[in-house]
Amino acid sequence: MDIKEKLKEAIRKALMTAIEDGALPAGEIPEVLLEVPPAKEFGDYASNVAMQSARVFRANPRKIAEALVERLKEDWIERVEIAGPGFLNVYLKSDVLYTEFASLLARKDSFGQLPPKDVERIMVEYVSANPTGLLHVGHGRGAAAGSAIVNLLKAAGYPVYAEYYINDAGNQMDNLALSVNARYLALCGQEVEFPENGYHGADIVDTAKRIYERDGDAYASMAEEERLAILKELALKEKLGQLKIDLENFRVTFDNWFSERTLHPGPVKAAVDALVANGNAYEKDGAIWLKSTAYGDDKDRVIYRDNGVPTYLAADIAYHKDKFDRGFGRLINIWGSDHHGYVARVKAAMKGLGYDAEKLEILLLQMVSLYRGGELVKMSKRTGESVTLEELIEEVGADAARYFFLMRSLDSQLDFDLDLAKSKSNENPVYYIQYAHARIASIFRQAEEVGAKLGDSPDLSLLVDEQEIDLIKKIGTYEEELEKAAADLAPQRIARFAYDTAALFHSFYNKCRIIGEADDIREARLALAMMTGFAIKKALAVLGVSAPERM
């Protein structure tokens, strides 16, 4: 049992004792919550259990707190103070910290990886951009967030699976074919009108050029229907290939790439038929409508048009049904904020099909604004359109891009300072964190040069400086932070942990010499540096950011 659980149990025991000796009336003891206070003068841990208990015990929170203080007499507790209306600030004896830190050292190889959880399998579906153009910075934020959430859940012991939904069916693919066709025929010397709903990006021109350079005018004389079918497949293959390359360069991979085409026509029709059969969809004016108002939507939605063609919503219903039918008990989707209105429709359909819609969690990603030289950057220098993910990686690197995307919660607007992301200064948070890790690696290289080694049982009680104690406490919170961040799907908490740990290490490094100290102090400080390096590296790994050993 770690010190936090030990303290929770001690508080529960003190409450039970207070009830038994009549200091408090009988009542159900609430869950004891602990947090690390923002400043060390408020103790090692703080709890609001007295305020949580006020209604249960029908007593003033401060009276409850006083009853607890009288009964929290464990020999590892230095003292307990009451703050404000009834907060408990608990101060531990220093040897408790050393014992806890020694246990972390003993299991350093498994540090930062929580035991497997016996829960339902989770699917995280993210990015899922149409394969009709290049990924832009908005997709980049979703890619960083999704992959970090997958990493976070894995580190916290959850069974998790990552999937990309390829929108390779429907009008967007027809428009892709028409767009490439127009550019291709122009290269073949034919005059052709560009399609009204075509894609005008420079990447479409590039795709047509590559097809022409490889195959010449081989398709120019074909019947249009045949040529469009071939160009659609060639363009899809190239676009999807480039998309995968861009994501891999951004350290984003998937367990599965799911093709929308596999849902047509069978699974889509089966899902719609099931909704009609159970009364959650109906026919009107030749179309089939989802009765989504029955589940909180503002109006019913068409899922089959009057021409017999399914809508995108019908395919999405079939896809989410397929996810549940594959045995995933919890679905997490990351969508752009412009899909806000779509949430109620998909959830309504899942309820209509008999699934638990609460098992479908949709995270909405807010916009990213790029700034260079204090000015808003709207357009790509290369294409004249949105800045691509590839361009962002070229300019600031994958590490900085990922960290900057992840240092704010997904539902908040993000202002991305390109100049700051490129700077090699302490103002750049990712540089500041990575520099701490590189410093630690440098310390161990220096130690090796002078023949100094870390023994099996360093005397941790020699770590008495304020900077050393703060660092020990911080490292000890990592696994708890991991648990909380995974529960909240909040990788920004891990980004903050990495930054705060780096800041504490830099303070320690500036105050406490390692190489050149007496053997026992040097060994203790090497142990502290080693665990700090592990903590930073583990946190950066969750974020998909590298931990360099030289900078």
d(CA 463, CA 521): 8
Same domain, 220 and 333: yes
Question: Which of 228, 213, 238 minimizes the C-alpha distance to 132?
Answer: 238
Which residues are CB-neighbours of 524 under 8 A, at least 6 positions away?
A: 458, 459, 460, 462, 463
User: Is residue 391 a contact partner of residue 382, using CB atoms and an 8 Å limit?
Assistant: yes
CATH code (residue 456): 1.10.730.10
Range of the domain at 234: 120-255+312-422
* Interval 480-528: pLDDT, tens: 999 999 999 999 999 999 999 999 999 999 999 999 899 999 999 999 9
Let me know if residue 246 belongs to a domain.
Answer: yes
**Number of helical H runs and strand E runs in the chain:** 19, 14
What pLDDT was estimated at residue 380? 65
Residue 37 is encoded by which pair of tokens? 């206070």
Let me know if residue 29 belongs to a domain.
Answer: yes
Kindly report the pTM of this predicted structure: 0.91
Residue 511 is encoded by which pair of tokens? 């105050």
d(CA 476, CA 483): 13
User: Is residue 539 a contact partner of residue 494, using CB atoms and an 8 Å limit?
Assistant: yes
Let me know if residue 303 belongs to a domain.
Answer: no
Number of folded domains in the chain? Answer: 3
- Of 362, 393, 422, the last residue of a domain is 422
What pLDDT was estimated at residue 26? 86
Let me know if residue 459 belongs to a domain.
Answer: yes
Kindly report the number of other CB atoms within 10 A of residue 265's CB atom: 9
Which residues are CB-neighbours of 187 under 8 A, at least 6 positions away?
A: 208, 209, 212
CATH code (residue 217): 3.40.50.620
- Of 368, 403, 422, the last residue of a domain is 422
Same domain, 392 and 435: no
Same domain, 408 and 343: yes
User: Is residue 174 a contact partner of residue 232, using CB atoms and an 8 Å limit?
Assistant: yes
Let me know if residue 291 belongs to a domain.
Answer: no
44, 76, 88, 367 from 37: Cα distances, Å: 7, 19, 11, 33
Same domain, 406 and 504: no
Question: Which of 146, 142, 118, 238 minimizes the C-alpha distance to 183?
Answer: 238
Same domain, 537 and 456: yes
d(CA 144, CA 127): 9
Same domain, 155 and 71: no
Amino acid, single-letter form, for residue 274: A
Half-sphere exposure of 95 (CA within 13 A, CB side): 3
Same domain, 248 and 228: yes
Q: What is the 3-state secondary structure (H, E, C) of 211-223?
A: HHHHHCCCCCCCC
Query: Which residue stretches of the chain have pLDDT < 70?
Result: 1, 380-384
Q: What is the 3-state secondary structure (H, E, C) of 374-405?
A: CEEECCCCCCCCCCEHHHHHHHHCHHHHHHHH
Kindly report the number of other CB atoms within 10 A of residue 423's CB atom: 14
What pLDDT was estimated at residue 383? 62
User: Is residue 522 a contact partner of residue 515, using CB atoms and an 8 Å limit?
Assistant: yes
Same domain, 366 and 485: no
Residue 127 is encoded by which pair of tokens? 């990015």
Let me know if residue 115 belongs to a domain.
Answer: no
Amino acid, single-letter form, for residue 493: R
Question: Which of 419, 412, 424 minimizes the C-alpha distance to 375?
Answer: 419
Kindly report the number of other CB atoms within 10 A of residue 71's CB atom: 19
d(CA 157, CA 92): 30
DSSP letter assigned to residue 194: P
Same domain, 184 and 63: no
Same domain, 205 and 321: yes
- Of 422, 452, 474, the last residue of a domain is 422
Question: Which of 128, 125, 146 minimizes the C-alpha distance to 544?
Answer: 146
CATH code (residue 15): 3.30.1360.70
Same domain, 77 and 152: no
Let me know if residue 223 belongs to a domain.
Answer: yes
Same domain, 500 and 536: yes
Alpha helix (H) ranges present in 107-216? 137-155, 171-187, 202-215
Let me know if residue 100 belongs to a domain.
Answer: no
What pLDDT was estimated at residue 454? 84
Q: What is the 3-state secondary structure (H, E, C) of 403-467?
A: HHHHCCCCCCCEEEEHHHHHCCCCCCHHHHHHHHHHHHHHHHHHHHHCCCCCCCCCCHHHCCCHH
